[in-house]
Amino acid sequence: MAGKRQNPDEITPRIGADEWVGREQELRLARRGVTGWARSLVERIPAVVWLAVFLGIAALLPLLMNTGDLNRYGLNVAIFALLALGLNVAVGWTGLLDLGYVAFFGFGAYTYALLSSPHCFTDTACGVHWPGWATVPIAVAATALLGLLVGLPSRRLSGDYLAIVTLFFAQLFLTVAANGDRVSALGLTGGVNLTGGPNGVPEVDPIEIFFIRPTTVEAYYFFTLAALVVVAAVLWFLIRSRTGRAWTSLREDELAAELMGMPVNSLKLLAFSIGAGIAGLAGAILAAEQTGVFPGNFDLSILITIYAMVILGGAGSMPGVVLGAIVITVVFEVLSPTTNPDKISLMFYGAILVALLVKVRPLWRLAFVLGGTVLLGYVTHTIAHAISASATQGQVVSGGWLGDAIESIAVVPLDPGDWPKYAYVALIVAVLALTRLDGWRRTLLMPPTLVLTVFVWENLLLLQPTVTRFILFGALLVVMVAVRPQGLLGKPRVEIV
Amino acid sequence: MDWTRFFNVLIDGVQLGSVYALVALGYSMVYGILKLLNFAHGDIYMIGAFIGFGVLTVFGGPLSPNLPLAPLLLLMFLVAMLGSGFLGVAVERFAYRPLRDAPRIAPLISALGVAFFLENSALLLFGSQYRQYNGFELIGTGGFFIGTVKITWINLLVVSSAAGLMVALMLLVSRTKLGKAMRATSFDREAAAMQGIDIDRVIVWTFFIGSALAGAAGVMAGLAYSSIYHYMGFTAGLKGFAAAVVGGIGSIPGAMAGGLLIGLAESFTAGYMNGTWKDAVTFSILVLVMLVRPTGLFGKPEIKKV
């Protein structure tokens, strides 16, 4: 790293230092500042207390929200948290890149749906309605078994091959789900409707476990929460067991683990299939909760969303991935066409402002960036208005006081044409350039970048929130892995040379 | 047996295989040097197809091009290859280089993020509608006959330009100094660095060449199959991927053979069975090869050293 100033606080690999010394250095660094204080506080409180706090807040949610919001923010968070915990077993603990995870989610959902719905396999074989205490375990076990089968061909191969096979498997699952309405064995039989094709399987029964029969959103919310707690508790003990320790050692150094006599292949398959089983459980709950399954529920954007949760929260840390699930699901649900654009904008500008307040130091630099942005925005607004009156007459999508404020510094033409698209590309280039610059050059480039951001946001991104959220998740994966690979709550890795 | 149909399906397969082989080459070259599965490669191919379409549109569109055909096609290929090449280099610079010494799983996740970012950016910029290259309007439906089997000009153009690019790549890798440096780097990166080879430069060139080939493949796909859309890169990337693994990842002749094999398999599945299940056939071939010969058709068994 010639030319770049060495940060004395950075944890650098040291020759001859063992793991314990490395950890000690890392702990010393982690204890400093507000975040360090918060982290040591978090670590000192026992896990049970955290669980109680989490459950206490979670139990209050139905009182604070209406049914629609509870479905979007409560139930979805719970289901995605379950999914993130399952993926964490494979990715976070064992270090296996499972890209077929979303297919396991779908397989569990379809298994449940086919065993408890009026779905017709052939003209005569209709309506299997098994009770939930049978179908949910079947869905979980079948998915875990499927995970085992998918893992088998790549068991002796490096992690890369597992990624290929699983990614292909996810794609194959989608093909089967979307085209499985006329499956015939080599043209001999009349054709079996296996998956309902693009229409999916509608009218799925609620999960009936003895006397429990959830039918409302509230009931499913509590049911999923209970499942989440059970799964989290099992995993909490599992990672502290012999098997759990073996998984993490496998992740750190596969060869060393093998030399210590660990059954590497079985351990990998076990992790893989436990993760798949949890996805199957989440799938069964989803199928019952939305009373139907559709191929679109399990496409690759959901996979990326779950990955974003695990990476953001911190792969390997259970509270981390749950936090990741909460944050990402809220972003996912807020960035949808049904949300009021005011709220989206408020969150967007709020997030940028908070990031600037936290990251830009010293204060004169922060003042320069904020002042420069407002000034530059005002100047461009005035110039654009002088050139053509229609260039600033478009409706700012954000409303209220925020809209008024943005109105005076943003250029929102009546008919922007392709300009927002060019600006989007320019914005990407500017952001990439920012990462390469430092010192005053970076400070100088920031106001124009921010003005460009406002322009692109108001004219392009805010109009297509669903696309925007996936762009954000994709970028989030790249940025997190490079800047903070341990995520929000994960432990940084100490490299031992 | 209907031989005309057989040969038509065969020609389709070779054409599809050429496209897959070009995509597979990029995967294979990058894997050979960095041991990284570049998931974003398929999306670079998609961007290449859109760049080619952009050039076509600038010069009047497929129905009334205001340039003669040959220079227009050349320009489309050239601009698409350059654009894709620079995109590939940018992806390497900003997404993969910071992670070169990170644990193996980190760059894979980053690659996944890049792929998703590119795909959705394309959706944002180009919209979700299909764009039509209209290759048959542009080049014509003509061709020549061998017996009763018709070979269209598009077939000929795609296969011969793919073959030309592959020969050029082979010459580059085997005859030039850069090619030698690439082979050395892929054999042992650290040892190559100790011999004074500028590793970063070799990696940048690898990404440029691999991505340029993908861009060319994108234009070919546009010409041969007409429709391009933002999601096309994902499936093509998977197929290219499978081709690279079947042929032996890291091996250049392997990627070509693997591409042809996958292309033929898909074309025969679509021609004689049901086109919906061609993904399943490709997947079965992939799993079979990995079970029987994990290093692929042309790969050398890897010896793990500590």
CB contact under 8 A, B242 and A164: yes
Q: Which residue of A has its CA nearest to B286?
A: A165
Bridge partners of B24? none
Output the CA angle B137-B143-B145, nearest 5 degrees: 155
**pLDDT by position in tens, chain A (length 497):** 344 444 545 555 555 566 666 666 666 666 666 666 776 777 777 878 888 888 888 888 888 888 878 888 889 999 999 999 999 999 999 988 889 999 999 999 999 998 888 887 777 777 788 888 889 999 999 999 999 998 887 666 566 778 888 888 898 898 888 887 776 655 555 567 778 788 888 888 888 777 777 888 888 999 999 999 999 999 999 999 999 999 999 888 888 888 999 998 899 999 999 999 999 999 999 999 888 899 888 988 999 999 999 999 888 889 889 999 999 999 888 888 888 888 888 888 888 999 898 888 788 889 999 999 989 988 888 888 888 877 777 777 666 677 777 777 788 887 788 889 999 999 999 999 998 888 888 889 999 999 999 889 888 888 888 899 999 999 999 998 888 888 887 776 665 54
Number of neighbours of residue B98 by Cβ within 10 angstroms: 17
Provide the 3-class DSSP secondary structure of residue A440: helix
Nearest to A478 among B110, B242, B276 (CB): B110
Q: Is some CB atom of chain B closer than 8 A to the CB atom of A460? A: yes
pTM: 0.89
Beta bridge partners of A117: A128
B305 part of a folded domain: no
Q: How far does B232 lie from chain A, in Å, by closest CA?
A: 13
Which residues of chain A are within 8 Å of residue B32 when distances are taken between CB atoms? none
Are the beta carbons of A481 and B107 separated by less than 8 Å? yes
3-state secondary structure B74-95: HHHHHHHHHHHHHHHHHHHHHH
Q: Is B234 in Cβ contact with A168 (below 8 Å)?
A: no
- Backbone φ and ψ for B270, nearest 5 degrees, come out as -70, -35
User: What CATH number corresponds to the domain at position B178?
Assistant: 1.10.3470
Contact B228, B50 (CB under 8 A): yes
Q: What is the DSSP string of A305-374?
A: HHHHHHHHH-TT-HHHHHHHHHHHHHHHHHSSTTS-HHHHHHHHHHHHHHHHHHH--SHHHHHHHHHHHH
Each residue's pLDDT tens digit, A272-322? 999 999 999 999 999 998 888 998 889 889 999 999 999 998 888 898 899
Half-sphere exposure of B180 (CA within 13 A, CB side): 6
| Number of domains composing chain B | 1
For an interface test with B, give the residue of A97, A467, A479, A497 to mutate (most B CBs within 10 A). A467
B residues 118-137 lying closer than 8 A (beta carbon) to A: 118-121, 123-125
Does residue B22 lie in a domain region?
Answer: yes
Mutation target to probe the A interface, by most A beta carbons within 10 A, among B30, B92, B117, B302 is: B117
The verdict on residue B275 lying in a domain is: yes
Q: What is the pLDDT of residues A464-491, one digit of tens each?
A: 888 999 999 999 999 988 888 888 877 7
Residues near B78 by Cβ (< 8 Å), separated by ≥ 6?
none
Distance from C-alpha of A328 to C-alpha of A310, rounded to nearest angstrom: 10
Give the H or E element holding residue A136: helix A132-151
Cβ of B113 within 8 Å of Cβ of A428? The answer is no
Q: A484 at the B interface (CB within 8 A)?
A: no
Identify which of A71, A177, A182, A171 has the alpha carbon closest to the alpha carbon of residue A114: A177
A307 contacts on B by Cβ (under 8 Å)? 109, 112
What is the extent of the structural domain holding B118?
A: 3-292
Question: Which residue of A154, A160, A305 to mutate against B (max B Cβ within 10 Å)?
Answer: A160
Nearest CB to B110: which of A165, A255, A481? A481
Position B299 in a domain:
no
Residue A173 CB neighbour total at 10 angstroms = 24
- The H-or-E segment that residue A118 falls in is strand A116-120
Going from the C-alpha of B241 to that of each of A97, A477, B185, the distances in angstroms are: 16, 22, 22
